[in-house]
C-alpha cells in the first residue's frame, strides 16, 4: 500500500505542504523499517496491515490478511491497549506487549483530522525480540520488577496470614517471569517458550535437571495465564508416600476409613478447581496412580476415596520432572498414554552450566535475597570468586549455587568473599573446584556491547540512519539511477532528491 508515488502531485513548498510531505514520508518510512505496522479506524477495526506485520498473523491464529482485516483490534490482538489510545487520544510511544505471537516493543499513535478529532490510530512494532535488542533496559526493568515482586509477596504474605487466621487457605503464584533471572540466549529462549505456553490452555511439561527453576517457571506460567486469578496448587510427588498419594490427589470422603476425618478432606484437584495444578516430579509417580491420573485428565472428573460420587473439576495441568520420561516409557515405568497426555507443550529448562553468563546476575539476586532474610548488607564477591563460580559445572544448578553462596555469607567474617573461601566450601561438599572461567555477562559482553549500543540513542537518529542506508543500498543496486531508486523505495523523486541534498 504505497502512499508516495512518482505521479503524486507536487506539493507547494509552504509550511503546510512541508508538513503533509513529512507526514506521508514518515508513514512510508515507518512502514518499511518497522517490524510491522497496522491501522485501525475510529471504531477500532483493523483497516490495513503492512507486509511486515503479516508474518505475525499465523501465531495470532489467522491464515490470511482477509481474516484479520475488518475485525476489532481486541478480537485479533490479545492484550492490546489500542482502545485506550482511541478513547483518550493520547499516544503510547513505548510499551511492551506480550501475546501468543511473542513479546514486542510497540508504539501506538492516534490519527486526527483537521478538526483535531481522533479518526483512528497506528500500531507500530518497533522490535520483535526485545530480550536481545533492548537487553540493557530490560535487565534494569527486571531488577525493578524483582523489587516489586518482593514487595507484593510480602504484602500477600501478610494478607494470607490474616486470611489463614480467619480460616481462608488462599493459594496464589509467588513468582513472575521477571523472577527467572538471566539474559543469556538460553534463558531468553526458555522464557519465550514459557510465555507462549502461558497463553495456551494445554498441559505444559517442564523438563530439566534439579535446581534449574522449573517450579519458579510453573508459578510464572500460571501468573501470566488467563487463570491467574484462580488458585495455584502444587504437589511434590516425590515427597509424598505412595500410600497417601491417591488421597492427596483426589481427596477423602467423610468416614472413608477408620481414622478418616468425619468431614472428609479435599484433594489437590478440588483445591485447584478453576486454577492450575502443578505436579512436580511427575516421573516419580507410581504406575498404579498413573492410570487413575490419566482417567481423571481424560474425563475431567475425580472420585474421592470412599465415595461413589464423581466430582467434576476444571484444572489446567503443569508438570515437571528431572527424569528422562521417554526412557521411563521404554522401560515400562511410565505410561505411554499419560506421557503423550502431558507432553503437549514441553519446555526444557537449561542447566546453569550452559548459561554461565547469567551467574553474575544470579549471584546479585541471591545475595540481595540473603541480605533481606538475614538483615545484613549484600555480599561482595571479588573478581577471583566470581570467576571461580563461572567455571563450576553446578550439578545442583541454581540450588547448589545458592547453597554455596549462603554458606560463604554465613561463615565469612567480612562482607567480601574471595575464591579461597568458595574453594573450601566446595571441597567440604565433596566437589573438587574446576578451573576459574572468564565472566561473560551477556548484557555487557564486549562482543555484544557495540551491537546493543546502537539502540541506546533517540529513535529519530536510528530511523534517519536506517533511511540513509536504505537509500545508499538501493542507489548502488540501480547503478545510481534515481528514478529506479525512488520507485524501488516507493517514494517520489522529489522526496529522494530532498533526502540526498539533506541526509540529516
DSSP state, 72? B
Same domain? For 102 and 196 the reply is no
Nearest to 469 by CA among 29, 7, 91, 1: 29
Residues 294/337, Cβ–Cβ less than 8 Å: yes
Same domain? For 296 and 258 the reply is yes
Q: Does any domain span residue 284?
A: yes
Rg of the chain over Cα atoms, rounded to whole angstroms, equals 28
Number of CB atoms found within 10 A of residue 63's CB: 9
Nearest to 95 by CA among 87, 85, 104: 104
Q: Does any domain span residue 337?
A: yes
Same domain? For 379 and 281 the reply is no
Q: Nearest 5°: phi and psi at 11?
A: -90, 140
Distance CA 347, CA 448 (A): 27
Q: Is residue 396 classed as helix, strand or coil in its secondary structure?
A: coil
CATH of the domain at 326: 3.40.50.300
Same domain? For 345 and 391 the reply is no
Q: What is the pLDDT of residues 40-85, one digit of tens each?
A: 999 999 999 988 888 888 888 888 899 999 999 988 888 888 998 9
Count structural domains, the chain: 3
Question: Which position has the grid cell 485479533?
Answer: 76
pLDDT (0 to 100) of residue 101: 76
Same domain? For 90 and 114 the reply is yes
Same domain? For 212 and 338 the reply is yes
Residues 385/425, Cβ–Cβ less than 8 Å: no
Please say which residue of 404, 428, 452 terminates a domain.
428
pLDDT (0 to 100) of residue 387: 92
DSSP helix, strand, coil percent of the chain (3-state; round to 5): 50, 15, 35
CATH of the domain at 97: 3.30.450.20
CATH of the domain at 407: 1.10.8.60
Q: Nearest 5°: phi and psi at 435?
A: -65, 145
Question: Which position has the grid cell 501465531?
Answer: 59
Same domain? For 310 and 389 the reply is no
3-class secondary structure per residue, 265-303? ECCHHHHCCCCEEEEECHHHCCHHHHHHHHHHHHHCEEC
pLDDT, averaged in runs of 10, over the chain (504 residues): 46 62 71 83 92 87 90 88 90 81 84 88 80 57 60 54 44 85 89 92 94 95 92 92 88 67 79 94 93 92 85 94 94 94 93 92 89 84 91 93 93 86 92 80 41 50 74 81 78 74 59
Residues 267/251, Cβ–Cβ less than 8 Å: yes
Query: What is the model's pTM?
Result: 0.57
Which grid coordinates belong to 254? 467423610
Q: Does any domain span residue 444?
A: no
pLDDT (0 to 100) of residue 174: 86
Same domain? For 318 and 215 the reply is yes
pLDDT (0 to 100) of residue 170: 53
Distance CA 369, CA 154 (A): 13
Q: Does any domain span residue 31?
A: no
Distance CA 236, CA 251 (A): 16
Q: Does any domain span residue 198?
A: yes
Same domain? For 234 and 365 the reply is no
Distance of CA 332 to the CA centre of its chain: 35
Q: At what angle do helices 242-250 and 287-299 cross, to 10 degrees?
A: 10
Spell 443-466 as b/e; 16+ CB within 10 A means b: beeeebeeebeebeeeeeeeeeee
Which ranges of 118-209 does DSSP label H, i.e. alpha helix?
130-133, 135-165, 185-198
Q: How many residues does the chain have?
A: 504
Same domain? For 226 and 283 the reply is yes
Q: Which residues contact 14 (CB under 8 A, 6 or more apart)?
A: none
pLDDT (0 to 100) of residue 143: 59
Q: What is the pLDDT of residues 343-381, one digit of tens each?
A: 999 999 999 999 998 999 899 889 888 888 888 888 889
Same domain? For 185 and 228 the reply is yes
pLDDT (0 to 100) of residue 184: 87
Please say which residue of 333, 350, 367 terminates a domain.
350
Please say which residue of 326, 350, 374 terminates a domain.
350
pLDDT (0 to 100) of residue 451: 42
Q: Does any domain span residue 464?
A: no
Domain encompassing residue 305: 171-350
Same domain? For 290 and 208 the reply is yes
Amino acid at each position: 500500500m504505497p502512499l508516495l508515488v512518482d505521479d503524486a502531485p507536487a506539493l507547494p513548498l509552504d509550511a503546510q505542504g512541508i508538513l503533509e510531505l513529512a507526514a506521508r514520508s514518515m508513514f512510508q518510512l515507518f512502514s518499511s523499517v518497522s517490524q510491522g505496522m497496522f491501522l485501525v479506524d475510529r471504531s477500532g477495526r483493523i483497516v490495513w496491515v503492512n507486509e511486515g506485520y503479516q508474518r505475525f498473523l499465523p501465531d495470532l491464529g489467522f491464515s490470511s490478511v482477509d481474516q484479520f482485516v475488518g475485525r476489532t483490534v481486541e478480537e485479533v490482538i490479545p492484550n492490546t491497549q489500542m482502545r485506550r489510545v482511541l478513547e483518550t487520544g493520547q499516544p503510547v510511544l513505548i510499551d511492551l506487549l506480550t501475546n501468543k505471537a511473542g513479546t514486542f516493543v510497540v508504539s501506538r499513535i492516534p490519527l486526527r483530522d483537521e478538526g483535531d478529532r481522533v479518526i483512528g490510530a497506528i500500531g507500530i512494532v518497533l522490535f520483535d525480540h526485545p530480550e536481545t535488542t533492548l537487553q540493557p533496559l530490560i535487565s534494569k526493568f527486571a531488577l525493578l520488577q524483582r523489587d516489586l515482586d518482593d514487595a507484593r509477596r510480602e504484602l500477600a504474605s501478610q494478607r494470607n496470614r490474616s486470611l489463614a487466621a480467619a480460616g481462608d487457605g488462599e493459594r496464589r503464584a509467588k513468582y513472575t517471569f521477571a523472577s527467572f533471572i538471566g539474559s543469556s540466549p538460553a534463558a531468553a529462549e526458555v522464557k519465550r517458550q514459557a510465555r507462549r505456553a502461558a497463553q495456551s490452555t494445554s498441559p505444559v511439561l517442564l523438563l530439566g535437571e534439579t535446581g534449574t527453576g522449573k517450579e519458579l517457571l510453573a508459578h510464572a506460567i500460571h501468573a501470566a495465564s488467563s487463570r491467574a486469578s484462580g488458585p495455584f496448587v502444587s504437589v511434590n510427588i516425590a515427597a509424598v508416600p505412595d500410600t497417601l498419594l491417591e488421597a492427596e490427589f483426589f481427596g477423602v470422603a467423610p468416614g472413608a476409613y477408620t481414622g478418616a476425618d468425619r468431614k472428609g478432606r479435599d484433594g489437590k484437584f478440588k483445591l485447584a478447581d478453576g486454577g492450575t495444578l502443578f505436579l512436580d516430579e511427575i516421573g516419580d509417580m507410581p504406575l498404579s496412580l498413573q492410570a487413575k491420573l490419566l482417567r481423571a485428565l481424560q474425563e475431567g472428573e475425580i472420585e474421592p476415596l470412599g465415595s461413589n460420587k464423581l466430582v467434576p473439576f476444571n484444572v489446567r495441568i503443569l508438570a515437571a520432572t528431572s527424569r528422562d520420561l521417554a526412557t521411563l516409557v521404554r522401560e515400562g515405568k511410565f505410561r505411554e498414554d499419560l506421557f503423550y497426555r502431558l507432553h503437549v507443550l514441553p519446555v526444557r529448562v537449561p542447566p546453569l552450566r550452559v548459561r554461565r553468563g547469567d551467574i553474575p546476575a544470579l549471584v546479585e539476586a541471591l545475595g540481595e535475597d540473603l541480605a533481606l532474610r538475614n538483615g545484613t548488607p549484600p555480599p561482595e564477591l571479588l573478581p577471583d570468586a566470581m570467576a571461580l563460580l563461572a567455571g563450576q559445572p553446578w550439578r545442583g544448578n541454581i540450588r547448589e549455587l545458592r547453597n554455596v553462596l549462603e554458606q560463604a555469607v554465613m561463615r565469612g567474617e567480612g562482607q567480601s568473599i574471595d575464591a579461597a573461601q568458595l574453594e573450601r566450601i566446595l571441597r567440604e561438599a565433596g566437589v573438587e573446584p574446576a578451573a576459574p572461567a572468564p565472566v561473560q555477562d551477556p548484557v555487557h559482553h564486549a562482543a555484544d556491547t557495540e551491537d546493543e549500543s546502537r539502540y541506546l540513542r533517540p529513535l529519530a537518529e536510528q530511523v534517519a540512519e536506517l533511511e540513509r542506508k536504505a537509500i545508499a543500498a538501493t542507489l548502488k543496486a540501480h547503478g545510481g539511477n534515481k528514478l529506479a531508486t525512488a520507485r524501488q523505495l516507493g517514494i517520489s523523486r522529489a522526496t529522494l532528491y530532498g533526502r540526498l541534498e539533506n541526509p540529516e
